[in-house]
């Protein structure tokens, strides 16, 4: 499933191998064994960082425009999980003029709430 930020559906998701799922887990040793608390992926007030080795200019500019709007946006990830986020402006290493693309793009989404 394609990610969606606000009303914008990504033309392609970031590669899975560069975006490992972050899990918030606590392991506590007790006298009887171990106690594991799992808050799931991306608990509230945590950032979601998406990375693309290469991104087309039109895609980059669309994400940059959404971040420039400010305020909160809905975000649906590739697992169909919804979040309310604040998008920070995407960053990149360099523009590739011959390819009309940006290299090593990162988009940070600050999670405000998770329904």
Q: What is the DSSP string of 8-26?
A: EEPSSPPPGGGSPPPEEEE
Position 24 pLDDT exceeds 60: no
pTM: 0.75
Read off the DSSP letter of residue 71: S
25-66 pLDDT per residue, tens: 555 666 655 555 555 554 445 889 999 999 999 999 999 999
Domain coordinates in residue numbering, the chain = 4-113
Position 20 pLDDT exceeds 60: no
The tokens of 47 are what? 């950032």
Confirm if 114 and 43 have CB atoms less than 8 A apart: yes
Those residues with Cβ within 8 angstroms of residue 74's Cβ, 6 or more apart along the chain or in another chain: 4, 5, 6, 82, 83, 84, 85
């Amino acid at each position: 499933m394609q990610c969606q930020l606000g009303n914008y559906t990504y033309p392609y998701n970031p590669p899975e191998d560069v975006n490992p799922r972050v899990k918030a887990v606590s392991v506590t040793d007790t006298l009887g064994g171990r106690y594991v608390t799992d808050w799931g992926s991306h608990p509230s007030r945590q950032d979601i960082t998406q990375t693309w080795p290469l991104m087309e200019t039109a895609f980059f500019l669309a994400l940059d425009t959404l971040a420039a709007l400010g305020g909160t946006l809905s975000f649906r990830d590739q697992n169909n999980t919804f979040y309310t986020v604040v998008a920070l402006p995407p960053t990149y290493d360099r523009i590739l003029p011959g390819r009309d693309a940006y290299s090593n793009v990162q988009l940070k989404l600050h999670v405000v709430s998770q329904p």
